[in-house]
Amino acid sequence: MAIKDALLPEFDHEMATARKVIERVPDGKFGYKPHDKSMTMGRLASHIAEMPNWAGPYLPKDVPMDPWGRPYEYKYPGEHGEDPDIISLGADGQPGGDGNNADIVSWSNK
């Protein structure tokens, strides 16, 4: 699965959730900031409205291959928390292994 295919549904979901929150802000309260470092609700609404016009891309080029020249495996939703799982199967290209053949995974060393 291409990363963009996994991220676009998540992006759509986040946009819908943000829209629901912003729709509940009473008129005249768009200057509200939930935290000193936050943008105002009005600025957040404008930011979200402008996002579809952003001419991206999220990545400047194709996703790089793993150190052994194979595509990373990508699982969303991930099985190890809220983040997606990104996996390289190591030098041998097989699950498991030791040394250079060990899998490299996104959820370890966090």
Following DSSP, what letter does each residue of 38-83 receive, concatenated?
SPPHHHHHHHHHHGGG----SSSSSPPP-TTS-PPEEESS-SSSSS
**Partners of 88 in the β-ladder:** 104
Residue 64 confidence class, pLDDT cut points 50, 70, 90: confident
Q: Is the dihedral of CA 20, 24, 29, 32 positive or negative?
A: negative
Residue 65 confidence class, pLDDT cut points 50, 70, 90: confident
Tens-digit pLDDT profile for residues 10-54: 878 887 887 787 788 888 888 988 888 888 888 887 877 777 666
pTM beyond 0.75, yes or no: no
Q: How many CB atoms lie within 10 A of CB 72?
A: 16
Characterize the bridge pairing of strands 104-105 and 73-75. Answer: unpaired
